[in-house]
Amino acid sequence: MSYSFRFDPIELPQEAKELRSEVRAFLREEAEAGTLSAGSGEGSFSREFSRKVGAKGWIGMTWPKKYGGHERSHLERYVVIEEMLAARAPTRAHSTADRQSGPVILRYGQEEIRQKILPQIARGELCFCIGLSEPNSGSDVFAASTRATRTDGGWRVNGRKIWTSNAHQADYMIALLRTSPPTKENRRHGLTQFLVDMKAPGITIRPIINLSGAHDFNEVVFDDAFLPHSHLIGGVDMAWTQATDELAYERSGPDRWIETFPCLVELVRRAGEEPDERLAEGIGREVAHLATLRRMSLSVAGMLQAGKTPSVEAAVVKDLGTNFEQALPDKVRLLAPPIGDSQPDSNDDRFEEALRHATLIAPKLTIQGGTREVLRGIIARGLGLR
Amino acid sequence: MGSIPPLPPFFAVFSGPPMTVPASCARRLAWTPVRMRSTRPIPFPDTAFSCVLAYFTMARRKRQRAQEMDDSTENIIIDTATRIFQDLCAPNTVNEAEKGVWPKALWDALAGSGLPLTWVPEELGGAGASVADGFAVLRVAGRFTAPVPLAETLMAGWLLARAGIAVPSGPLTIAPIHADGHIALTPGGTLTGRARKVPFARNARHIAVLAEQEGRMLVALVAATGLSINRAVSLAGEPRDDVSFDDVVPATAGPAAVDQNLLVGFGAAVRLQQMAGALERILEASVQYALDRSQFGRPIAKFQAIQHNLAILAGEVAAASAAAGAAAEACLNPDIPVSEIAIAKVRGGEAAGTGAAIAHQVHGAMGFTYEHSLHHATRRLWAWREEFGNEAMWAARLGRIVAERGADELWPLITAGS
């Protein structure tokens, strides 16, 4: 067996290069109009911005045209996403739907739902959240116990989801719900994916404030909430066969290494044109890591474009990427010239703002969307160790 | 053809005043590549060479048609190299080489296959294959920790080709290899200067020397016999000799569009391929060892701590491999962009350090013995990460480039090229 994972260089096609200029021009205009935030948690949500992105044709880019998509390549989509993230554009109102929920509906959803939901996502009109974690089901996804039981015309849902980002702003959730107990042979059996309308009766959303004081994630309580049959996504009890492919999309994207990038940009700004040797070396090291990660991440996008399912490679990128972005603020902190009275007023100091934000979000980066430990388990399995 | 530029017009290399050679020295100098090229056939070691040459040529033409990297071509070359190393580069060969025994069978097989002349154009007696082909071969050589100057001969061929100089047979190396390296060609036609840590100098039949004459760069081909060589070794026990070129008359010389920075950058790209190969090797060895070795009643591969360390190692290997790919790609540009090489050597160098440490931890005491072959790869990794600029040197260079361009140009720098 081959133990080494290949990350072949990708040469972006010409149309992707042209697209990059287009996206940069759009973002420049938005920046001048003051639409782009400095990137604190709540500022990054803007339905207005998402509709503009949708109008540009930059949501659901790879989906079929008949569902409102644009039939463009994964590499073109990659360019749009990385440019948006690098500019700290407020994409949260559409990013989850674009990255995960839409593809799941496209692949496993019922035709009626595809026709209704996907074009709205592509126009930037729908915000999605993901109902995976529960109080007793975190990394152990298949321990979920929130129950969906059959009833006239559909299903009744009871239970609790937790750590659900954007639930308070989302229009829909894709929830992983228990429809049967696990079997002796397969503990992953018995879970089913559903589309949940967040406005439906019987759903209560309670905020959970994170350590920075921001409201990002939530607890979502289901009390006899009703789901019509059409909201069933894929096979009953068979979610375990559906969930894994999408992770490759989720795990290797630019959002897995770029979250704290602004603090590096601001460090470079503060360093000036002629940094001393120590600072130059420190900046160089971080840039080397970043550029290599981007290369690997782009390479995974190339594998997706080629029709492969690079799950282990994606886990490698996410593990390296999240560790990098998590460690970055601390490196930047110690490289920066000492805080002193010659610097701008505290509230106008872009460097300090970027570093503060990066430091406060750092802990979640190796937890969300699959912890470091889970990822290393996946890589170890890819190596044939388990 | 990658980074090997089209040869200059036939006489351009020799017209004008490339260097001042007094009439008395002219005969001794004998820098007559014109004749070498046009009338003297380059001796083929054996027929295998022509076979390889034939498929290199075929492969190159095929690639030119396809205008893109062709996996199957690369695989033929990799297969050839792999077969030779599998047969003739056993751990004992590596140990013997460290004791000073020249691995003749291995070198002869490599020379017979034509692999050492991968980057030499056909007109100059080589295989005329692409930069990518040569780099692919070097990755395999790194995997097998081959104790021969294959990388150095390839580099010398590349350097000589840039000056339009035909390549002699036998092992070659290059000098100087450091950023501050300086060898001068005097108006009298002799070289002056010293180069430290020249890889395999004692084994080389010729050295391709990058020399300066009145502000112009030249490549000089120097016969190794008669050079003053002070023997020394790398961390891996490979020859890294100090060579003094004082009063040496080159066999031939010609102007070249190469400077010391470019040479160091190219050398870094070469070492990165070997490092990526050696890292692949230690990952493979570590996974196998973890599966084979039992403690507490089960294979240590079943312990989560071991699994996670090996997952980290796999990540570092992947990063080094991507970095090596990036460096190889950078070498397709004749100017070899500094920032691309810097990014790759910093990341690859870090991966070498982190990766070697994990491999040793997994192997326990066994991997710390001379008997076990793990050190063939790890000691080379420690040596190679330091050569052609270490992480600190390249990081500082990269940091200065980034700072000079300014904060708002950082993202365009990272996305440049793709």
**pLDDT by residue (tens digit) across A309-368?**
888 999 999 999 999 999 999 999 999 999 899 888 988 899 999 999 999 999 999 999
Report percent pLDDT > 90 for chain A. 83
Nearest to B181 by CA among B163, B193, B199: B193
Q: Does residue A285 lie in a domain region?
A: yes
How far apart CA B98 and CA B47 sit, in angstroms, is 31
Q: Is the pLDDT of residue B64 over 70?
A: no
Is residue A57 domain-shared with residue A24, that is, in the same domain? Answer: yes
Q: Does residue A1 lie in a domain region?
A: no
Is residue A60 domain-shared with residue A83, that is, in the same domain? Answer: yes
Q: Which of B240, B255, B270 is the last residue of a domain?
A: B255
Q: State the virtual CA torsion across B414, B415, B416, B418 in degrees, nearest 10.
A: 140
Nearest to A260 by CA among A336, A362, A173, A167: A362
Is residue A49 domain-shared with residue A140, that is, in the same domain? Answer: no
Predicted local distance difference test score (pLDDT) of residue B122: 87
Is residue B211 domain-shared with residue B98, that is, in the same domain? Answer: yes
Average pLDDT rounded to a whole number, residues A33-60: 82
Q: Does residue B328 lie in a domain region?
A: yes
Is residue B280 domain-shared with residue B394, that is, in the same domain? Answer: yes
Q: Does residue A2 lie in a domain region?
A: no
Q: Is the pLDDT of residue A155 over 60?
A: yes
The CB density around residue B385, as the number of other CB atoms within 10 Å, is 25
Residues of A in contact with B323 (CB under 8 A): 292
- Give me chain A's average pLDDT, please: 93
How far apart CA B243 and CA B219 sit, in angstroms, is 16
Q: Which of A77, A111, A126 is the last residue of a domain?
A: A126
Nearest to B165 by CA among B2, B337, B18, B17: B18
pLDDT band, residue A43 (cuts 50/70/90): low
Is residue B340 domain-shared with residue B411, that is, in the same domain? Answer: yes
Identify the residue with better confidence: B377 or A4: B377
How far from chain centre, in Å, is Cα B15?
Answer: 31
Predicted local distance difference test score (pLDDT) of residue B20: 32
The answer to whether B402 faces chain A, any CB pair under 8 Å, is: yes
Chain B residue nearest residue A372, CA to CA = B308
DSSP secondary structure letter of residue B42: P
Minimal Cβ distance to A283: which of B301, B307, B403: B403
Structural domain of residue A209, as residue ranges? 130-238
pLDDT band, residue B44 (cuts 50/70/90): very low
Quick one: tokens of A342? 């010659």
How far apart CA A141 and CA B221 sit, in angstroms, is 65
Pick from B282, B283, B308, B338 the residue to mutate for testing the A interface (most A CBs within 10 Å): B308
A71 within 8 A of A62, measured Cβ to Cβ: yes
How near does any CA of chain B get to the CA of A201, in Å? 45
What is the interface pTM, i.e. ipTM, of the complex? 0.94
How near does any CA of chain A get to the CA of B201, in Å? 32
B129 within 8 A of B148, measured Cβ to Cβ: no
Per residue in A347-386, is it b (16+ CB within 10 Å) or e — as a string? eebbbbbbbebbbbbbebbbbbbbebebbbbbbbebbebe
Q: Which of A177, A207, A238 is the last residue of a domain?
A: A238
Predicted local distance difference test score (pLDDT) of residue B72: 54
Helix (H, G, I), strand (E, B) or coil at A211: coil
A3 within 8 A of A381, measured Cβ to Cβ: no
Report percent pLDDT > 70 for chain A. 95
- Token pair 């160098």 is found at B349
Is residue B159 domain-shared with residue B289, that is, in the same domain? Answer: no
Q: Is A287's CB within 8 Å of B319's CB? A: no
How far apart CA B345 and CA A88 sit, in angstroms, is 29
Q: Is the pLDDT of residue B23 over 50?
A: no
Average pLDDT rounded to a whole number, residues B141-151: 98
Is residue A61 domain-shared with residue A38, that is, in the same domain? Answer: yes
How far apart CA A346 and CA B319 sit, in angstroms, is 38
pLDDT digits (tens, 9 = 90+) for B361-370: 999 999 999 9
pLDDT band, residue A247 (cuts 50/70/90): low
Q: Is A280's CB within 8 Å of B346's CB? A: no
Minimal Cβ distance to B403: which of A11, A82, A272: A272
Q: Is the pLDDT of residue A104 over 80?
A: yes
Predicted local distance difference test score (pLDDT) of residue B127: 82
Residues of A in contact with B308 (CB under 8 A): 373, 376-377, 380
Average pLDDT rounded to a whole number, residues A237-258: 79
Q: Is the pLDDT of residue A285 over 60?
A: yes
Q: Is A284's CB within 8 Å of B301's CB? A: no
Identify the residue with better confidence: B26 or B310: B310
Q: Is the pLDDT of residue A181 over 50?
A: yes
pLDDT band, residue B11 (cuts 50/70/90): very low
> What beta strand segments (E) does chain A contain?
128-131, 147-151, 154-162, 172-178, 191-197, 203-209, 215-228, 232-233
How far from chain centre, in Å, is Cα B36?
Answer: 26
Residues of A in contact with B280 (CB under 8 A): 3-4
Is residue B176 domain-shared with residue B99, that is, in the same domain? Answer: yes
Instruction: Label the pairing between strands A128-131 and A172-178.
Output: parallel
| Those residues with Cβ within 8 angstroms of residue A334's Cβ, 6 or more apart along the chain or in another chain | none
Predicted local distance difference test score (pLDDT) of residue B84: 97
Provide the CATH number for the domain around residue A331. 1.20.140.10
Predicted local distance difference test score (pLDDT) of residue A369: 85
Establish whether the linkage from the previous residue to B176 is cis, with ω within 30° of 0: yes
Q: Is A292's CB within 8 Å of B407's CB? A: no
Q: Is the pLDDT of residue B34 over 90?
A: no
Average pLDDT rounded to a whole number, residues B64-82: 66
Predicted local distance difference test score (pLDDT) of residue B21: 33
How near does any CA of chain B get to the CA of A344, in Å? 17
How far apart CA A356 and CA A9 sit, in angstroms, is 35
Is residue B150 domain-shared with residue B62, that is, in the same domain? Answer: yes
Ranking A48-52, A156-160, A365-369, B235-239 by mean pLDDT, the lowest is A365-369
B298 within 8 A of A271, measured Cβ to Cβ: no
Q: Is B326's CB within 8 Å of A292's CB? A: yes
Quick one: tokens of A165? 């980002």
Q: Is the pLDDT of residue B42 over 80?
A: no
How far apart CA A360 and CA A45 sit, in angstroms, is 18
Is residue A338 domain-shared with residue A313, that is, in the same domain? Answer: yes
Q: Which of B202, B236, B255 is the last residue of a domain?
A: B255
- Token pair 């050696």 is found at B278
Helix (H) / strand (E) element for B254: namely: strand B252-255
Compute the C-alpha angle A155/A158/A161, nearest 5°: 115
Nearest to A299 by CA among A88, A61, A5, A19: A5
Predicted local distance difference test score (pLDDT) of residue A259: 93
Provide the CATH number for the domain around residue A195. 2.40.110.10
Q: Is B399's CB within 8 Å of A380's CB? A: no
Provide the CATH number for the domain around residue A48. 1.10.540.10
Structural domain of residue B240, as residue ranges? 23-255
The answer to whether B280 faces chain A, any CB pair under 8 Å, is: yes
How far apart CA B357 and CA B367 sit, in angstroms, is 11
Q: What is the domain count for chain B? A: 2
Predicted local distance difference test score (pLDDT) of residue A2: 57
Instruction: Give one word for B2, left, alpha or beta, with left for phi > 0 and alpha for psi -120 to 50.
Output: left
Q: Which of A126, A158, A173 is the last residue of a domain?
A: A126
Pick from A2, A4, A293, A366 the residue to mutate for testing the B interface (most B CBs within 10 Å): A4
What pTM, to 2 d.p., does this model score? 0.89
Q: Does residue A246 lie in a domain region?
A: no
pLDDT digits (tens, 9 = 90+) for B200-257: 999 999 999 999 999 999 999 999 998 999 999 999 999 999 999 999 999 999 999 9
How near does any CA of chain B get to the CA of A287, in Å? 7
Q: What is the domain count for chain A? A: 3
Q: Which of B224, B255, B286 is the last residue of a domain?
A: B255
Is residue B168 domain-shared with residue B188, that is, in the same domain? Answer: yes
Residues of B in contact with A313 (CB under 8 A): 318
Chain B residue nearest residue A298, CA to CA = B418
| Those residues with Cβ within 8 angstroms of residue A325's Cβ, 6 or more apart along the chain or in another chain | A256, A257, A258, A259, A260, A261, A362, A365
Is residue B282 domain-shared with residue B206, that is, in the same domain? Answer: no
How near does any CA of chain A get to the CA of B55, in Å? 24
- Token pair 């749009």 is found at A80
Is residue B272 domain-shared with residue B375, that is, in the same domain? Answer: yes
Identify the residue with better confidence: A37 or A165: A165
Provide the CATH number for the domain around residue B137. 2.40.110.10
Pick from B82, B272, B303, B307 the residue to mutate for testing the A interface (most A CBs within 10 Å): B307
Is residue B189 domain-shared with residue B278, that is, in the same domain? Answer: no
